């Protein structure tokens, strides 16, 4: 039974990768760089996007695809920024899917104004496990980890921390009020993804947000250079 289950999962991932490549080709055709942004629930993805997109990015027109089980709370927040926001709900699955996969993103693509943007940030469902397992056609994966979550998270969710090229460490304004050992967290992070880029930010105070904005611009430029 176990072997059968693994086989089914592998087939599902193969199918997912095929669709992810098709998504990738469509994004490339429109010259759109794609960031898959992941985190645990409440780590601050939406607030970081609000902060990043409150002012135009240098030479980059951004859009957002919001993945949620239900509702459009985050999309409504971001819509106030005058960037195109598309809502993608996963609840038709039953109880709701805990992640975005390539086919869900594909189904939402007709609603994304690809010809009007240079960068699409896909805000995944808040979850540290399954989102890391499904490519959606992205150029880069980034994750947000809040200092309120504890130092052990890289060890407990290694695939997520390993699959990202950037780890945004958020809510650092709370550090004086926590017993969070940042050095220990970074030690654990390097154990699962040695030397991965990381930045310390506070979406609430704005500290470090300029680096996060710079990173989004650099990913867009890198993708454009690769396609061209």
Give me the residues that bind a copy of itself (CB under 8 A), please: 2, 5-6, 9-10, 13, 40-42, 68-71, 73, 92-98, 125-130, 132-133, 146, 148-150, 152-153, 155-159, 171, 173-174, 177-179, 204
Q: Closest CB to a copy of itself among 66 and 118?
A: 66
Q: Minimum distance from CB of 155 to a copy of itself (Å)?
A: 6
Q: Minimum distance from CB of 2 to a copy of itself (Å)?
A: 7
Q: Minimum distance from CB of 76 to a copy of itself (Å)?
A: 10
Q: Minimum distance from CB of 163 to a copy of itself (Å)?
A: 9
Residue 31, judged by CB atoms within 10 A of its CB (0-12, 13-18, 19+), counts as: middle
223 three-state secondary structure: helix
Q: Closest CB to a copy of itself among 113 and 158?
A: 158
Q: Minimum distance from CB of 52 to a copy of itself (Å)?
A: 18
Q: Minimum distance from CB of 20 to a copy of itself (Å)?
A: 15
167 three-state secondary structure: strand
Neighbours of 124 (CB within 10 A): 28
Q: Closest CB to a copy of itself among 32 and 122?
A: 122
* Long-range CB contact pairs, 195-201, < 8 A, 24+: 196/161, 196/164, 196/165, 196/166, 196/167, 197/165, 197/166, 197/167, 198/166, 198/167, 198/168, 198/169, 199/166, 199/167, 199/168, 199/169, 200/169, 200/172, 201/48, 201/168, 201/169, 201/170, 201/172
Q: What are the backbone angles phi and psi of residue 122, rounded to the nearest 5°?
A: -95, 110
Q: Closest CB to a copy of itself among 117 and 169?
A: 169
Q: Closest CB to a copy of itself among 11 and 116?
A: 11
Q: Closest CB to a copy of itself among 148 and 221?
A: 148
Tokens of 213: 């904005």
N- to C-terminal Cα separation, the chain: 47
């Amino acid at each position: 039974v176990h072997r059968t289950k693994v086989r089914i999962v592998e087939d599902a991932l193969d199918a997912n990768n095929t669709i992810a490549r098709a998504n990738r080709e469509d994004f490339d055709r429109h010259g759109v760089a794609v960031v898959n942004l992941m985190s645990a629930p409440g780590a601050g993805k939406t607030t970081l996007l609000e902060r990043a997109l409150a002012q135009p990015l240098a030479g980059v027109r951004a859009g957002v695809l919001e993945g949620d089980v239900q509702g459009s709370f985050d999309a409504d927040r971001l819509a106030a920024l005058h960037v195109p926001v598309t809502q993608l709900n996963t609840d038709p699955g039953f109880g709701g899917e805990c992640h975005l996969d390539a086919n869900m993103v594909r189904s939402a693509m007709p609603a994304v104004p690809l010809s009007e943007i240079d960068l699409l940030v896909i805000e995944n469902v808040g979850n540290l496990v399954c989102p890391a397992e499904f490519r959606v056609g992205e150029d880069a994966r980034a994750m947000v980890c809040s200092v309120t979550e504890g130092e052990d998270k890289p060890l407990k969710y290694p695939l997520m921390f390993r699959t990202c090229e950037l780890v945004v460490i958020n809510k650092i304004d709370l550090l004086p009020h926590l017993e969070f050992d940042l050095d220990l967290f970074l030690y654990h992070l390097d154990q699962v993804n040695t030397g991965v880029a990381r930045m310390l930010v506070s979406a609430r105070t704005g500290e470090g947000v300029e680096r996060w904005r710079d990173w989004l611009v650099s990913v867009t430029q890198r993708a454009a250079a690769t396609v061209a």
